[in-house]
Structure 1
Amino acid sequence: MPFDRFDDIVIHHKAEGPEAAPTLVLINSLGTDYRIWDDVVPKLAGRYRVIRYDKRGHGLSEVPPAPYRMEDHSADLLALLDHYGVAQALVVGLSIGGQIALGLAAIDQNRLAGLVLMDTAHKIGDAASWNGRIDAIGKDGIAAIADQILTRWFTPAFRSGGNPAFVGYSNMLVNSPVAGYLGSCAALRDTDHTETVRNLEVPTLCIVGDQDGSTPPDLVKACADLIVGARFEIVEGAGHLPCIERPETTARLLGDFADAIFGQDAPR
């Protein structure tokens, strides 16, 4: 369970797979930690070095006072790559993770071998919606709006009290550090990566669950349309977190894209 201080923040991180293999970095969404990738990583780590981490204010990483800037998150990602000695990685960003990855692209595209933008976009929501969420949580806590969030995250088939996984991921959301959640809401509110995506010059794959209520397919497709040469894929039977609801499909899409970028032809 590695912990390291990157500049002003202690980050919880983990690397799996062969050290000499090409690197994939997986970045989790708002209100989750790196365990959301648990069912995906074993399908990739046999032929890739897979690094994941809890972004600042989430999981077991340190929780600075809110608000945060997206530049703070992206600087943490860059420090993580430097810590592992990774010159280039295929970075997979889910939701806010995609905006963190785009922040790295704005700093230095040369650190990206490729980019996967999963259930995310160049601009998510508007100031009014984020301020409303910040005010509601600041007053009554994450639990007060958890049902609204979970409805956007998961399909009706998954969203059942009889599904132990749904109960567990609901707990992950509700138990997220409030300062970390609010800090990242502010970062999302203040971020517009429209020009970043228009200037991307790395292989890019955009993925979205067909029932995503947070960043719907039309929004993700609009983002993909701004990126020269980007691929767009819809995951059937998934909401905002395909890595949880459809890990096999998610791992296949990531693996095939990574294989094409890195020229891998290893057994699955």
Structure 2
Amino acid sequence: MELQIFQVDAFSAEPFGGNPAAVIRLESWLPDAQLQRIAEENNLSETAYLVRNGETFDLRWFTPAVEVDLCGHATLAAAWVLFEQLDEQAEVLRFNTRSGELRVSRGADGLLAMDFPAKDPQPVDIPQALLDALRLTEARALYRSDDYVLVIDDAELIATLLPDFAALSVFDVRGIAVTAPGRGFDFVTRWFGPRVGINEDPVTGSAHTSLAPYWAERLGKTTLSCEQGGARKGQLQCEVPGNGRVVISGRAALYMRGTVYL
């Protein structure tokens, strides 16, 4: 069996930025174990699989270790492949996922806009062990949804974080987002997910379903400019319309296409 594969840098207008994802379109589903092995072999933070289902597409995401419920950058990459490489003519793509139906539309400016359900992160006490794992002495607040969202006040600290990933992996959350007001952006973030096999994810679209509602309320804005990453960074635009959704927009660039042989 031969499968066409695309590697796309999501949330970047050019290769070598943003967050890379593999995208594979299937005629029908392969066994889950085989999907996981392919993702492990790709060794990217996410591999996205697509199967057409009438007017929609079934979409699943795998890290090298596990299948996940929601992934923003691989959804953006999958939509970009359908639009730009597989000649999909629809203006709005509808994806059936473990997080419900997700929609991605394309604008005239080249941005792809993803309509995701918003999360409502709740304040929780800050464990000292979390600060120790991140090598931080203090933080402004901690919130929990499927991730921890740790808010700090100094964007300079974001760039210098050197976490203890083994210590972070003990926390029973998908990942840990550390976020601060950003110079030139409304906020900046880094995201660490050793528990799901990703020590650091350069750009995590799904994390912004928690981050954007927090910053929208704090800043009194409905449209936010965002940057995520350490050595490798990507840029997003988030809109919080107040209807329980978050619209996350970004660009993507093709790095590689090829064939998987099974």
Q: TM tier, shorter chain?
A: 0.3 to 0.5
TM-score normalised by length of structure 2: 0.33
Question: Per residue, is there more strand in 1 or in 2?
Answer: 2
TM-score normalised by length of structure 1: 0.32
